[in-house]
Amino acid sequence: MDLLELRADFLRPEEAVLAGALPARIDLPVILTIRRTREGGRFSADERDRVHLLSRLAGSGFSFFDLEEDLDSPSLDGLIAEAGATVIRSFHDRDGVPADLVQRVASLARSAREVPKAAVTPRGSSDLLRLLEAFRSLERVPKVLLGMGDYGFPTRVLAPKLGSLFCYTSPPGELAAPGHIDPESLDEMYRYHGITSDTGVYGVIGNPVMHSMSPTIHNRGLAALQRNAVYLPFLVDELAPFFRAADILDIQGLSVTIPHKENVMSLLERADQEATASGACNTVHRGPDGKWEGTNTDPAGFLSPLLEAFGGSFPSGLRATVIGAGGASRAIVHALVRNGARVLILNRTLDRARRLARVFNVQAAPLDESGLSLVAGFSDLIVQATSVGMPPRTADDPVAGYRFSGREVAYDLVYVPETTRFLSRALAAGCTIIRGRQMLLEQAFEQFRIFTGSEYPDEAKREIETRIESRYLS
């Protein structure tokens, strides 16, 4: 059921008194909310004025009234009941997830006609786990329960699966609360109206991750196959509690991005040769026994556009510089060495670069002037494999002191923005460049096959390539 919430606290006083005209003008049940500033709203006048306004609007045809747990006005409750409306009795915690969340939600409603609502703010993966455990404990309780902010985002999209009566949205650019998604994205990308308790869940884990294009790619493929499944971004700071949360959600597969590609290996029951050889994993999925298995589609995704740039074959004696020593770098160095390239690894932390270099028997140097002076001997290909250049550091360049000659192939794994500062300088010097979205698509299509057992649909592939191109150029 679709609803409309009127946030009358966003209205000017002269507009708010006219709010009662709205319910008769639309063909949807309407929730009236007048939120105080201390709960994140905009109503800053005296509390008596707020109660008076709510009482004045009680008989105007609103189907629901959102009233805070500490609002004690028997006369207002009586007016709402007389109008045949329902009270949503709510509390908001903008600082975290309270330890007594289950008890508070269970005791919120003052009568069988009231609906309890709690909006809390997970500050990390442990908080998300606590919130999902609360959903499980309150499984039989009709309620609205949601997490605010990026860590709580999955609870909004998965509200029907988790047993929350509804979630909240806001128009683009006009978010009424942290973590709101716009209605169009919720319905078109995540197919919210089709989500049920049986809907399969996939996602991407990282930090940061909310910018990821992976949900756009995977959800379009799932829709084309008409699968009852959805793919979400999960902001993750700690892997262990998140994987316990993944069990509650019955997540079937995950893409893994910065900074978890190496550490996730310790949580897997099994890892294939591609993951163990590179020492990093970008794809985990449930095996036949329900245990987590891992692989790495980054090497294949990395090589595909590179081979295209080289005319279809890998050049003999290629000398390459890889900037960074994280999980993505491990996969790339593995792919390059496997194809006979000589590699130099540059990293801000020299010890980390040396550890990676020892694994593959390649050269390492610090990411400073001394290291940059070595790049000339490894400049057929320069791969930027750090998060530098991603929002909010879009103006940064990890090798700002290096001067491109124009003979290099410059490859940046960052895909938002499309042309980073690193690639802009390479392009200006006349270099061949490879953008991160090319690798993104290739590795994602392989992940999709692993998750679903089906190839990424051709019609969806054409559409998603056009959509991403349009997004980059807009």
Q: Which residues are catalytic?
A: 261
SS (H, E, C) the chain: CCCEEEEHHHCCHHHHCCHHHCHHHCCCCEEEECCEHHHCCCECCCHHHHHHHHHHHCCCCCCEEEEECCCCCHHHHHHHHHCCCEEEEEEECCCCCCCCHHHHHHCCCCCCCCEEEEEECCCCHHHHHHHHHHHHHCCCCCCEEEECHHHHHHHHHCHHHHCCCCCCECCCCCCCCCCCECHHHHHHCCCHHHCCCCCEEEEEEECCCCCCCHHHHHHHHHHHCCCCEEEEEEECCCHHHHHHHHHHHCEEEEEECCCCCCHHHHHCCEECHHHHHHCCCCEEEECCCCCEEEECCHHHHHHHHHHHHCCCCCCCCCEEEEECCCHHHHHHHHHHHHCCCEEEEEECCHHHHHHHHHHHCCEEEECCHHHHCCHHHHCCEEEECCCECECCCCCCCCCCCCCCCCCCEEEECCCCCCCCHHHHHHHHCCCEEECHHHHHHHHHHHHHHHHHCCCCCHHHHHHHHHHHHHHHHC
Q: Which string of b and e fits 162-191 if b means at least 16 CB within 10 Å?
A: bbbbbbbbbeeeeebbebbbbeeebeebbb
Q: Rounded to whole angstroms, how far apart are CA atoms 328 and 280?
A: 7
